[in-house]
Structure 1
Amino acid sequence: MLLKTFGWSFAVTAAGLAFAAGVWGWEAFALVAILSVLEISLSFDNAVVNASIVKKLNPFWQRIFLTIGILIAVFGMRLVFPVVIVAITAKKGPIEAVQMAMEDREKYEAMVTDAHPAIAAFGGMFLLMIFLDFIFEDREVKWFGWLESRLAKLGSVDGLSVCVALIALAVTATTVATSAHVSSGHADKSGTVLLAGVAGLITYLIVGGLSGHFEDKLEEEEEREHEEEEAAKRAGKDPSMVGLAGKAAFFMFLYLEVLDASFSFDGVIGAFAITNHIFWMALGLGIGAMYVRSLTVFLVRQGTLDDYEYLEHGAHYAIGALAAILLITVKYEIHEVITGLVGVALIAGSFWGSVLRNRRLAAEEGSEGGEDKSENQVGSGV
């Protein structure tokens, strides 16, 4: 089962890492591996959501999502989008940007360095909004209870995430951006950072709005699905055989693609905090996207969701750390490996915290079961 589901992901990983090490060396190998882990971790909750929706589709639409959907996810967002970002910020055509990356590495690096303040501000604001909306939301499961409970209370203030993000942007524009790192040394990029940061904020709001729109459509179709199941029961048919198809399935497919695109943004933009090498990004994010799809299939076929409750927290704290690092790198250089390891460390910590939580809950259930058994024995006179 495991090999059948993850076989293609394992093969792509081995080929991608071998190619990176053979062509660019061990630094590329390490960064591609870190990018793969980053993409998987940041999209973990996406896979869970995908699984909860895909299982409702009929077999035809499931195949559409897992074939055409992965082409859009891997080649559209993970491979093309980084090139588009570099091309727009550097004011070059996408083909010209790729040719320069292949044929004139020094000029390409200078171009990306000059474009980095805009990329960092755009990406930093987008990721910061994801992080702020997460920590200001009241959740049943809390990793750091004392901190997250207080932040959730603050989150009751409308528009707080946007206010905090704009304050962070204003501080960045008036401090590090006044002496931003460029290929020729340092220059005042305050205006560029402000404009790019606002664009990142607007992009987040648009993506969130689209996701919300399709989510509303999804709820409407789920209500219709429930009515069809009730009708199937009254007609003596098996309600489990009623799978979404036609217009309902099409809306679900669109919703899943918009949702996947929104999760892709944090992975792609977070990758810029680790490396500006578009080929390394393409390899790492492509590998990660394969695992997200495989994990979706695994969850659908197993009919269960993962029990590691804190992984979503760890991924979002990693997003917050990457947002801060991106804004800092407007002026200061931070080694890519250090940046990558910060995110991996937070995710690993959340995984270990989840393991400890599961053990504690299992121990508590065991002790309660033992007490109930003792009471029953006493009550029966044993």
Structure 2
Amino acid sequence: MQNRLLPLLCLIISSQAYSEDTLPSQSSANDVTGNNNVVTDNSVIVAKDDTQIATPSSETNQKENSTTAETNQNVESTEDTEIAESDSEEITFEPTADAETTVDSEDNNPTDPSTQSTEQVASSDSEDGIDEDLIAELLDEGKGKEKVAKPITGTDKKAVSETLDTTKKDASTESNSVGSSTWLPEIEFGYRSEQGNEDERSLNARLSLSQISGRLRNSGEIKIYLKNEDGEEDEREQTYQLQSDYKISPKFYIYGNFKGIDSKYSSYYHDYTVSTGLGYQITNTETLKVETELGPGYRYQVPNTDEIDDDDPIFPDNVDEPIVRASLTLNWKPLDRTSFNFDGTMVSGSSNTRFDTEISIINDITEDIALKISQSIEHLSRVPNNLEKTDTVLTINILYSPK
């Protein structure tokens, strides 16, 4: 009996060992053949998708680094363009934009186009949840094909076009500010007529023209004053002024100035002043512009000895001397239609020191026509016969300045 049971017991043990050896191999074979169920150590069945492919972390990091590098390059190129544009604008005589305007523009466009495009791409990818281009690229690599560069999507094309448009606008703005030539003409006219017991007419007119072209600024001015009394010419005076400025830095410039006064009936036949020196722009914006100048020069005067009266504040001597000239100009426009101007000049020499100031208020009537009220003050340090050292003239004129 024992001889019979012993072979049967060996057969049962060998069959159990055979079944334990074959079960793991079958489960692994099922995984190889593509079954959708995977048996884990804890006997938990997890569904597996055939189309899901793991993305290598190294390649993902490389794509993120390349995207970040491209974004940084776009930002750096835009910043370099803005810096070059600001430098080119500061070296010209054109007024710069106010700080409030710059802040408003930055608030309206808080981000760079390249940054916006990157955010748009990230948002679109996050909404879909699947990067189809990346999956196709990985599938191609798995099949042994060569790696193909990622094509430019519609969002990237839009970002590139926006960046190109911004660069073109910056280049056109720079060329307009540096290479353009701005002409600013002005015509001023005032007339007074009196009839009755006295027949008197007077006319004062002013013509000025200025040009700004990059670093160079030229200006010219002619003033004419005529007075007729009882049908005869009683007084006539012409004033000429020419000046050229050249910027050598964003704030400093070199100037050359000439001013002449010709008169037939007043104090001097000729009164000429020539000066050159250094100018400084304290501020130069669309609202406020302040400039000051200082330099040596030369003065030449020929008094009108035939017409000198006791009330003329001049000395009957020819003047031929070196001088020092200083000036201050201020233009302030607090409102759209109202502006205030101040122009002061000092000419000092051994014979005399003269201060000329003009304060004016300009109120626009139309786009090209304005009403100008100005007061001119002339002050001399030396006068004969204890006369008044200061003379003032008030004028109300119509100003025509085509835009």
Range into which the TM-score falls when normalised by the shorter chain: under 0.3
Structure with bigger strand share is 2
* More relative contact order, 1 or 2 (CA 8 Å, 6+ apart): 1
Indicate the structure (1 or 2) with the bigger Cα radius of gyration. 2
TM-score, structure 1 normalization = 0.20
TM-score, structure 2 normalization = 0.19
Structure with bigger helix share is 1
